[in-house]
Amino acid sequence: MTKQLEGKIAIVTGAASGMGKSITELFTREGAKVIAADRDNKVSEIWDSDQNAIPIIADITDSKDINRIVETAKEKFGGLDAVLNVAGINDLNYPLFDTDDERWNKVMDIDLKAPFRLIRRALPIMIENGGGSIVNIGSYAALRGNHGPSYTAAKAGLVGLTRSIAFTYGRSGIRCNIVHPGGVDTNISDNSGTNYHSEGQKSLSAIIQAMPVKYFAKPTEIANICLFLCSDKATWVNGAAISVDGGMSTC
């Protein structure tokens, strides 16, 4: 069987766990060389022994680390074909009145500003390579507004960023799409700090009860969509927002 990503070079953020880890696993199996980036030190333990992956301990809110990630792809593998912005946190359902500037800024820095900076740094290399695929991980919250304002606004902003890049750089061979997962079995809550806001979580839980499915997706179910978007099977998919949520966004 032909590997779908044979010869491709990709950057995956959040590669130490959850969706990022599953995407990295799938991409390396499908023939890609992957720069596996995460702020968690265990990214090295996971990927050190994989000849198709280079682990990088990096803080994606730091421009120097963003540069280091992209430069490693070019220096070690010779180019770049795909960027997957997976790393993120949520706002633990804190409503507006309880969202201080610190929480707002932290969510925006990781969920919106970091993808913007990584894409901005990676685009020249991808264009020089003849084009490539960018996949941003959004959230069904961007479509419904049922999380707190910082997470909802950051993911909605990521939709706008995706469309702008798709429109501007499509003529340069760049495809940029966004995937909106629903609930996924990951450790995003652990990475987000403290506890969920009691009233915010109560409101979201009531909505979840009305949804057609009441289970979390496996990270591999999101990884499969990302594989398609970065493969040659998706050459005419650009600027798309794809819900992968078991029907949650129908509610």
Q: Edge to edge, what strands does the sheet with 82-85 contain?
A: 53-57, 33-38, 9-13, 82-85, 132-137, 174-181, 241-244
Give yes or no: 196 in active site.
no
Structure-block tokens of residue 13 = 């953020």
Contacts 24+ apart (CB under 8 A), 162-168: 162/134, 162/136, 162/138, 162/239, 162/241, 163/239, 165/119, 165/123, 165/134, 166/238, 166/239, 167/239
174-181 vs 53-57, strand pairing mode: unpaired
User: HSE of 227 in the Cβ direction (CA atoms, 13 Å)?
Assistant: 22
Phi, psi of 141 (to 5 degrees): -60, -30
Distance CA 54, CA 155 (A): 28
Task: Check 140, 151, 169, 196 and give the catalytic one.
Answer: 151
Tell me the torsion sign for CA atoms 67, 180, 144, 239: positive
The residues assigned a catalytic role are: 151
